Structure 1
Amino acid sequence: MKREHNYPIGTPGKPWGDEEKAQWLAQTTIKRSYQQEVVSKIQALETDFDLFQYGALSYDVDKYPLLAIKTRNWDSSKPVVLVTGGVHGYETSGVHGALQFAATKAAQYSDRFNIVIAPCVSPWGYEVINRWNPNTVDPNRSFFADSPSEEAANLMKMVASLDGEVLVHIDLHETTDTDELEFRPAREARDGNLYIEDGVPDGFYTVGDTENPQPAFQKAIIDSVRKVTHIAPPDADGNIIGSPVQQEGVINYPLKALSLCNGMTDCTYGTTTEVYPDSDRATPAQCNDAQVAAITGALDYVIEQLG
């Protein structure tokens, strides 16, 4: 039987006000360094890529610059590939998988694509290991005009400024045990809803677009990743995180309707990856490798389609 859960902040059934949000923020702590673990790795790529800053978070503009990586010799005749990581800052392999792709694979695809990588969209969330920003806003539900999320708003502005239309967008995420232990209970408490636990899928899966599912593209990603780590099976109801499985390891969401990062462009090929870092069957290195395999599998497929 699934358990109900009352979050320690707020009154059950009552949405949070400013007092509860301040109480939540007060209990967050810095657990790791964006500058040391992320910025330093981005800067190490400056000999091979064009690095640029596309904004800074007002929480601390010096500490939280928003940085991106571009392949050199940008050519408006080539398709644009967008790779995003750390939209949810706590999802570690999303950040470090994007950085690993930049360091080891991106140059191999630069003859066919213009590639731009935003490896850590939510650096405050990275440091405190949280899904939200300091205002209890989920950046990955905030990709719309007049967004309440600085993280989302800055990324959208940067992408809109690119020379060329985005053909491929790969958004790197994780599904963790803390989704059920902390983040979903916090969300339901914030919104005044009752939390009822769900399961966490053991393995990798992708989220496609209900309006543009591209099943062969998603399958190519799954087939690439299965060489690195295991694919999440459906639950007893044939679902992954409450959504019907469309094919092995693939579910679909209405990305634009939910204001998700992967719905912010009109790309032909889009996917959200989901790695499970808490599995006994996966190491941190495998999680990063899985993200890289997802990107390369996606790009290899698109190259085949372009001919």
Structure 2
Amino acid sequence: MTPQPRFHPIGTPGQPWGDAERSEWRSRQVRHRRYDEEVLPAIERLRADFDVEEYGRLEYDGEAYPLLAVRSRAWDPDLPTMLVTGGVHGYETSGVHGALRFLERHAHAYAGRANLLVAPCVSPWAYERIHRWNPDAIDPNRSFVEDSPAGESAALMRLVAPIRDSARLHIDLHETTDSDETEFRPALAARDGKPFEPGEIPDGFYLVGDSENPQAAFQQAVVDAVAGVTHIAPADGRGEIIGAPVVGHGVINYPLKALGLCAGITEAAYTTTTEVYPDSPRATPEQCNIAQATAVCAAMDYALAHDPGGAAA
């Protein structure tokens, strides 16, 4: 039998990782930035206008990571509730800083119109290490399931539980990066003992809607708003983006709940996952943050103007 080619430095090709391989992988992870210097102070500054709560605390290798959420102070059960999440994948920087930008610059415009619940950085350990996984080599964004193996995901689900059935909107802020193809997808294949199959990184912003509740007009309204900030990803030669058929300009759909994705944790009528492309020569980090905040505003504006059935309010 011809041995499988090695495409990742950890593990044996064709064999899923065990504890030894996960431990080796974890030992290789290096802190590149500080959650307690870049994220926590920005959230703390919001206490003047919002309620800030610690909804969980993760402890890894003797270090504690408080999980903070920002909530409308004048919470009104008669208003629609909007959920925003960022940093589920810690390396997707604009997900975190786009959520913070929205809170700092735009959230005040929704006071008295909507209840806001924002979790800007769901995965702080991964934020520091610019990684997709948590320390156990688990992807939080495939772990929003009952008895979740990821502490990050379990904590967020507990936070959201009281609004799970009543939320009108959930927008989850992500990025698709070149490192998905060079680092994270090869690591995933190695971890699971599967061959690595190269893919294609789309050049531009796109959305991932819910194949069980696609809400095409809502998705298009968000794309149209972001198009004023950064370019929208075209379909590839197969009419796809990251292997999924394009169903609208810059829009694909996934079965959110079946895949354990963050955007599927509520019964909201309007759900989407943003995907910013920060490695494009046509986009700057600031542009990426603005694109995320713009997407949040557009999503909220649409959700406020339409009832869950899609009729104008």
TM-score under structure 1 length normalisation:
0.97
Q: How does 1:182-221 map to 2 (within 5 A)?
A: 182-221=183-222
- Partner of residue 286, structure 1: 287
- Partner of residue 275, structure 2: 274
CA deviations 1:47-106 (Å, max 9, x no partner) are 011100000112168641000001111001111100000000000000000000000111
CA deviations 1:23-42 (Å, max 9, x no partner) are 10000010000000000000
C-alpha displacement at 1:163, in angstroms?
9.1
Distance across 1 between alignment mates of 2:45 and 2:62: 21
Preserved contact between residue 80 and residue 164 of structure 1 (Cα < 8 Å): no
- Partner of residue 100, structure 1: 101
Preserved contact between residue 90 and residue 128 of structure 1 (Cα < 8 Å): yes
Distance across 2 between alignment mates of 1:157 and 1:163: 10
- Partner of residue 89, structure 1: 90
Name stretches of at least 5 consecutive residues in structure 2 with no aligned partner.
308-312
- Partner of residue 227, structure 1: 228
Distance across 1 between alignment mates of 2:256 and 2:205: 19
CA deviations 1:87-146 (Å, max 9, x no partner) are 000000000000000001111112211001000000000001100000010000000110
Q: 1:5 to 1:141 in 2, by over 3 A?
A: same
Q: Does 1:22 align with 2:23?
A: yes
Q: How does 1:135-174 map to 2 (within 5 A)?
A: 135-162=136-163, 165-174=166-175
Distance across 1 between alignment mates of 2:73 and 2:246: 39
Preserved contact between residue 85 and residue 172 of structure 1 (Cα < 8 Å): yes
Q: 1:21 to 1:153 in 2, by over 3 A?
A: same
Name stretches of at least 5 consecutive residues in structure 1 with no aligned partner.
none
Which shows bigger deviation, 157-166 or 82-91? Answer: 157-166
Q: Give the SS at the match of 1:21.
A: helix
Distance across 2 between alignment mates of 1:279 and 1:5: 29
Letter in 2 for 1:24: W
Q: Give the SS at the match of 1:222.
A: helix
Q: 1:236 to 1:5 in 2, by over 3 A?
A: farther
Distance across 2 between alignment mates of 1:13 and 1:50: 49
Distance across 1 between alignment mates of 2:67 and 2:157: 12
Letter in 2 for 1:305: H
Instruction: Report how many residues are paired.
Output: 304
Q: 1:44 to 1:61 in 2, by over 3 A?
A: farther
Cα RMSD between the aligned structures? Answer: 1.3
- Partner of residue 178, structure 1: 179
CA deviations 1:198-252 (Å, max 9, x no partner) are 1100000000000000000000000000000000001110000000000110000
Q: Give the SS at the match of 1:125.
A: helix
Distance across 2 between alignment mates of 1:31 and 1:73: 37
Distance across 2 between alignment mates of 1:285 and 1:102: 15
- Partner of residue 261, structure 2: 260
Distance across 2 between alignment mates of 1:245 and 1:5: 33
Letter in 1 for 2:53: F
Q: Give the SS at the match of 1:161.
A: helix
Preserved contact between residue 5 and residue 194 of structure 1 (Cα < 8 Å): no
Percent of pairs with identical residues:
58
Letter in 2 for 1:225: V
Distance across 1 between alignment mates of 2:221 and 2:138: 33
C-alpha displacement at 1:302, in angstroms?
1.6
- Partner of residue 71, structure 2: 70
TM-score under structure 2 length normalisation:
0.95
